[in-house]
Amino acid sequence: MRNSEPGSPVSSVGGRLPAADAGAPITRLFESMRPDLLRFAHWLARDRALAEDIVQEALLRAWRSRDTLKDPRAARPWLLTIVRREHARLYERKRLELVSLDDVVETQASPGLSEPGGELFALRHAIMKLPIEYREPLVLQVLGGFSTEEIARELALSATAVLTRLFRARNKLRVICGLTAAPDVAPRESPP
């Protein structure tokens, strides 16, 4: 646990144990190893809070499989291996690859929908014609599903500025696509 003291190594596990098991040799062994495990995890993760989480999970895994530890002298390498593997588990999760918006538009995901002359093709090109300050918030909202507040944080703008840029982006798209622009009721933003 993040709030546990370095001096009380297995406090979360020991706190749930019956009183007879709290002083068991395996618990004392784990408690004595915790500072070393924490130093090793901190060296791996380079973050104290993350290291504490890694050690906590490692001790929990070690506690669940404590019966497999036959020789207490092998506890240190056994626990260090569990910590190392627990750290590696952090990076096993699949991460989505980020791609450039320009690359996405250039590649044709579905040939039937993005044929030249098709509506999707025309819309993609119209979006790419927008100035970047209007294109970014529009793409973040429509394709990314971001809220106004999230877009504002991402682009370091106020929520009002984001709403203004979204309104203007849609208006410019209407004009590019040959439709009538909506009346400009949004507050004016200084031109780029």
If one counts the domains in the chain, the total is: 2
Instruction: Report pLDDT for 23.
Output: 53
**How far lies 154's CA from each of 9, 42, 118, in Å?**
40, 30, 32
Cα separation, 131 vs 87, whole angstroms: 43
Cα separation, 179 vs 171, whole angstroms: 9
Residue 4 lies inside a defined structural domain of this protein: no
**Burial class of residue 110 (count of CB atoms within 10 Å of its CB; 0-12, 13-18, 19+):** exposed
Q: Mean pLDDT in the chain? A: 78
Instruction: Report pLDDT for 27.
Output: 87
Domain range for residue 122?
101-176
169 against 112, higher pLDDT: 169
Q: pLDDT tens across 140-154, in order? A: 888 778 889 989 988
182 against 169, higher pLDDT: 169
pLDDT above 90 for 51:
yes
Work out the number of other CB atoms within 10 angstroms of the CB of residue 112.
Answer: 8
Cα separation, 5 vs 72, whole angstroms: 24
Structure tokens at 45: 């993760």
- Cβ atoms of 11 and 1 closer than 8 Å: yes
Residue 190 lies inside a defined structural domain of this protein: no
pLDDT above 70 for 111:
no
Shared domain for 80 and 123, answered yes or no, is no
Shared domain for 73 and 116, answered yes or no, is no
- Cβ atoms of 13 and 30 closer than 8 Å: yes
Give the CATH number, domain containing residue 56: 1.10.1740
Shared domain for 84 and 107, answered yes or no, is no
- Cβ atoms of 15 and 3 closer than 8 Å: no
Residue 183 lies inside a defined structural domain of this protein: no
89 against 179, higher pLDDT: 89
Residue 79 lies inside a defined structural domain of this protein: yes
Shared domain for 71 and 36, answered yes or no, is yes
Shared domain for 130 and 79, answered yes or no, is no
Using pLDDT thresholds of 50, 70 and 90, give the confidence band for residue 52.
very high
Give the CATH number, domain containing residue 155: 1.10.10.10
Q: Which of 67, 90, 113 is the last residue of a domain?
A: 90
Q: pLDDT tens across 12-28, in order? A: 444 444 444 555 888 89
